[in-house]
Amino acid sequence: MAKVLVLYYSSYGHIETMAEAVAEGARGAGASVDIRRVAETAPQAVVEAAHFKTDSAHPVIEGPDALADYDAIVIGTGTRYGRMTSQMAAFLDTTGGLWARGALNGKVGGAFTSTASQHGGQETTLFSIITNLLHFGMTVVGLDYGFQGQMGLDEVKGGSPYGATTIADGDGSRQPSAVELDGARYQGRRIAEVAAKLFG
């Protein structure tokens, strides 16, 4: 049984919802899955003024060394100016020891994200996560075109071959759609399947 970590940062809950879908997909492939979030680094006054979601059911990751316990790690975070959030970047900046000893070499990784608009940096944010995964020596699994839901122009939807995505709208009012959640489940399942083949 592959061990999968879904690690996320979510300001308003969109990425948290996507993380749960990724985990559902991985569990559906027989994986053991933990969902963890990274710590909030914004000042409390900002958190309150911006009405961040602070009631997550998922615990904060114990620290960077916990990543080495998993066969696969799927990282999700919102987008800030076309790249990952500072909260996720701050956590990843603490993983130098893992990199130095090659603790994640050969493990499986993936990325998912959310933006306010269709062209708000979904793919550049995914690549900002994927860059970290590749430097860790991980094998990256995206949202391949076996998931046909990301195709077509019948509705506004996220999704990219580089990872599952959702679109939140500028005020955060749009929640992940059924198609976007299906994409997250699909990616989670594929990551778990690849990890099982490598480590099962």
Q: Which residues are annotated as a binding site for substrate?
A: 99
Q: Which two tokens stand for residue 85?
A: 């959030």
Give the annotated binding-site residues.
10-15, 79-81, 99, 135
The C-alpha torsion from 68 through 18 and 196 to 190, rounded to 10°, is -140
Cα-only R_g, the chain: 16
99-111: burial string, b at 16+ Cβ within 10 Å, e else: beeebbeebbbbb
Q: Please state the φ and ψ torsions of residue 167, each to the nearest 5 degrees.
A: -120, 125
Q: Which two tokens stand for residue 112?
A: 């998912």
Give the annotated binding-site residues for NAD(+).
12
Instruction: Give strand pairing partners of 112.
Output: 76, 164
Give the annotated binding-site residues for FMN.
10-15, 79-81, 135
Q: Give residues with Cβ within 8 angstroms of 31, minimum separation 6.
A: 1, 2, 3, 4, 72, 192, 195, 196
Q: Please state the φ and ψ torsions of residue 31, each to the nearest 5 degrees.
A: -80, 155
